[in-house]
Chain A
């Protein structure tokens, strides 16, 4: 499904970048686009007065993602209220967003972005190079969330003209450009404002109302510089309870279930009335093992765990057969993906003998789960499988996020845990830092990651492949499965993303046939 707005043409950009020299969109005048010939999405239908109601899982705690972490805020705002200079398409490639084109200097340290002349914020003010410079500067100086570190490579930003910005990096970084597609790349008006209560951006939707505990309402930005979206009002309704979410669709209160939290309930949606969309996400469900604590300091025990788990059986039971086996910390949408599930295939005998060799038969380990649906569903399965090969497993649940973050994440007071790492391209974050809660400390990994970030795109792919294989060989963790993108929607809704790999939920692409 290619349902992007006009700039479908330029999705080749990601590849031309491989050459390491200048690249960018073919100076396309997306501005005045009234129809997108190449996109089959809802946006192509043009504006209407229709409303749409989308059921989502987690309600944001605040509207300000510069000061509050959590995926729910960018999910609602990114690409809808705020735009980024570059963005990711459905195949994971980096394509122009607010910027019409960009070039990279030969030393890979200077990026020049061109802005469209007619882009405005919803207040009516023009989007200028100064706004971009301000936004990048804000990340470095005013943002408080941990993700602000993504902007560290930037050493200088210059608004060379109202429609051009030059960003200089202290060292080449492939991940920086990618990160600009995420929330840290969002462009704010330099006039500032009340981000927590009245967010203002240049996107196709504007913020209207937040009914706390219930919903957020967005309205089409009729002054939007690009192609105007189909739906006039979008209600994002939040449901804590997976069954309540499903019931809302079944009884017609909402049009789309964005994430099926209870995949076993899929069969209750008759195909005559509903469509099911199944794709991938960036959410690797990791069975983490505390590498700094016995018995998981011993590689044989970690390997035993990987051999002991019947990944197919696990996915079949706790996630109703939805979700993909991965084998390492890379989703199939990343360019360096390869199938590593055969490194440690399901083999109970092997697991038992490894435990025997390590002298850890009958060892007790504590599996501390966050109280999230996939974790509490899969925890008992993991326990049962590990106990069949001779480990003893004690489960306790910790409230997510607060208690889990403090106990498991910050203090690493755990033996095993289950958590989905949903940030894109997060292998280096999760395993590259020995103080991270996985406590994975392998001197071989660091050089691979550095080479990947600073080299060309080809170097990046080769080195990341090596890193991913290293993690699988060394059994740094077990990778239970990749969270599927499972959406259910009324049959007529078009433009739903097959793969949920971006931080924002692209509402402008939606339509109704």
Chain B
């Protein structure tokens, strides 16, 4: 158990660091992250640029901090979209007629057939690339994960004695859902959200790498990584900084998810249902 709480602490602190960087960037960054200074092109770390400057002479640290915002935004919106649609779907599938549940689960299988990259390619062709498109694509492809987790959790709750009793007492399904089922699956949702967040960060990086993510003036870790690729031999620092940031953030959210799982419901060893890279 001691190691478990260690997981939670490490994960929590990594996530807190990302959030802190993003929040601070709203009020302060060392430099304007978009300011191009030709003389500072590829400058190494110094008092002026703590992490150096990129090929356009923009301050790396400032971009890293503002990039944390993009990362969090993509995570929050895509996970939010997925949870808002996936959770009700999962509940309905578990609590209403069996045939409807079957159909909804088949629909969610169907959505799984459109992974984030495929959706992003198609949506980008229609609406142009951008952070919003990336968020929606990742969000939609994450819906099935939430629907499945919530459904299986809800099915378990539905078979518990108090729900059976409540139903026998003639309570309305909506009431049962809100009063008994939802609170009992909240821990599952939180854990799934944390894990999906990590996946969203990886997906955003991959999309930016393909040029399907943030536009060139919006600092994003995936974009920074992509832009520094050609400089891997001369200025590896420019790739290492965003690369490490991505890895730490993903690690943080994954550990947080693991830790929360054990903390919130040590008996229910719920499995993560989805992986996408």
Contact = CB atoms under 8 A, between A and B. Distances in A.
Interface of A: 242-243, 246, 262, 264-265, 267-268, 310, 312-314, 316-318, 320, 369, 371, 376-377, 379-381, 383-385, 387, 393, 395-399, 402-403
Nearest to A395: B217
6 nearest A-B pairs in the assembled complex, by CB-CB distance: A313-B38, A262-B230, A384-B36, A268-B233, A395-B217, A265-B230
Contact of B38 (A243, A316, A395, A398): A316
9 contacts: A317-B56, A318-B56, A377-B56, A379-B216, A381-B36, A395-B215, A398-B128, A399-B124, A403-B125
B115 interface: no
Indicate the member of A242, A317, A384 with the most B CB atoms within 10 Å: A317
B55 A397 contact: no
Nearest to B57: A317
B124 to A, nearest CB: 7
A317 B56 CA distance: 5
A399 B128 contact: yes
Contacts, number: 83
B216 A265 contact: no
B234 interface: yes
Q: What does DSSP make chain A's interface, helix, strand, loop or mixed?
A: helix
Contacts of B234: 264-265, 267-268
B56 A381 contact: yes
Contacts of A264: 42, 55, 230-231, 234
Given A396-B128, A397-B216, A317 B38 contact: yes
B35 interface: yes
B29 interface: no
B49 interface: no
Contacts of A243: 229-230, 232
B101 interface: no
B211 interface: yes
A316 B128 CA distance: 29
Interface in B31-80: 34-36, 38, 41-42, 55-58
B233 A317 contact: no
A310 B38 contact: yes
Contacts of B36: 313, 317, 380-381, 384-385
Q: How large is the interface on B (under 10, 10 to 19, 20 to 34, 35 or more residues)?
A: 20 to 34
Contacts of A397: 128-130, 211, 215-216
Contact of B129 (A246, A267, A384, A399): A399
Nearest to A267: B234
Given A380-B216, A381-B36, 18 more contacts: A242-B230, A264-B231, A265-B234, A268-B233, A310-B38, A312-B38, A313-B38, A314-B38, A316-B41, A369-B215, A379-B217, A380-B56, A381-B56, A395-B217, A396-B128, A396-B215, A399-B128, A403-B128
B185 to A, nearest CB: 40
Contacts of B232: 243
A313 B128 CA distance: 29
Contacts of A313: 36, 38
A317 B41 contact: yes
A263 to B, nearest CB: 9
B217 A380 contact: yes
A313 B38 CA distance: 5
Nearest to A368: B128
Interface in B11-29: none
Interface in B94-124: 124
Contacts of B58: 380
A371 B129 CA distance: 9
A399 B125 contact: yes
Contacts of A398: 128
B34 A383 contact: yes
A310 B130 CA distance: 28
A398 B216 CA distance: 11
Nearest to B223: A376
Nearest to B35: A384
A31 to B, nearest CB: 46
A267 B231 CA distance: 9
Contacts of B230: 242-243, 246, 262, 264-265
Nearest to A385: B36
Indicate the member of B34, B57, B217, B232 with the most A CB atoms within 10 Å: B217
A316 B36 CA distance: 11
B208 to A, nearest CB: 11
Nearest to B214: A397
Interface string B177-205: 00000000000000000000000000000
Contacts of B56: 317-318, 377, 380-381, 384
Contacts of A402: 125
A383 B58 CA distance: 13
Contacts of B129: 371, 397, 399
A131 B85 CA distance: 65
Given A317-B38, A399-B124, A383 B231 contact: no
A2 B130 CA distance: 47
A395 B55 contact: no
A383 B217 contact: yes
Contacts of A246: 230
Contacts of B211: 371, 376, 397
A44 B16 CA distance: 68
Nearest to A242: B230
A243 B229 CA distance: 7
A278 B255 CA distance: 51
A403 B41 CA distance: 32
A319 to B, nearest CB: 10
Contacts of A379: 216-217
Contacts of B217: 379-380, 383, 393, 395
A369 B216 contact: yes
A258 to B, nearest CB: 16
Nearest to B127: A403
A312 B36 CA distance: 13
A318 B55 CA distance: 7
A1 B125 CA distance: 43
